[in-house]
Amino acid sequence: MNDPAAETTGPPPLEIPRPFHDAMVKHCLRESPLECCGLLGGIAPRVSSFHPLRNAAASETRYDADPQDLIAAVVALRQRGAEILAIYHSHPRWLAVPSKTDLRENHYGPVPRIIVSLLDLVPDVRIWRLDSDSYQELAWRIVEDDDDEGNVEDEAAGPAGPAVGDGDPHTHTTPESS
């Protein structure tokens, strides 16, 4: 079997335990039609915590993580010796592809960005590395590991449907004009 993740020269694929994946997707669905945001934390490449954040912009087209929520999540990660492994947000009415705004407002450099599109019945989850004028899709995988269920910090966590992702990594360049 040909494993796309094995062909990349970048970091190992992000490993997201199913409870965290499902909690993230459920958060996105619950906040729709507004965009939502949050963090996945852990020690690379394994996610071990889920941190939903309030969208201070309260917008259908933009997100701005609530500063107090963000600080609390970072403090919790540091206390555990963990780090931000990915930042996620939803696209309630768009594809799971970075927008020009996502590129322009990338304040966390190489930290992977997860975009959850809610366009279809089954949400589309994709992970990207962002640069100022381009983006590259990153390999990732869901891991079936019941040991991590206790660390889901969202009371509404639970199954949200089948996983979508694990595709070939691709590099994309944004168009010059909007």
Instruction: Quote the tokens at residue 165.
Output: 């992702």
The string of DSSP codes covering 46-67 is: EEEEEEEE-BTT--SS---B-H
| Tokens encoding 32 | 């729709």
Distance CA 160, CA 122 (A): 9
Closest CA to 141 of 43, 16, 11: 16
Q: What is the rounded CA–CA span in Å between residue 174 and residue 153? A: 35
The closest alpha carbon to 20, from 113, 178, 131, 158, belongs to 158
Q: Locate 71 and state its tokens.
A: 């600080």
How far is residue 56's CA from residue 170's CA, in Å, rounded to a whole number?
Answer: 31
Residue from 7, 15, 31, 35 carrying the catalytic annotation: 35
What gap in Å lies between CA 21 and CA 26, rounded to an integer?
A: 9
Active site residue 35: yes
The two structure tokens encoding residue 120: 């279809």
Catalytic residue list: 35
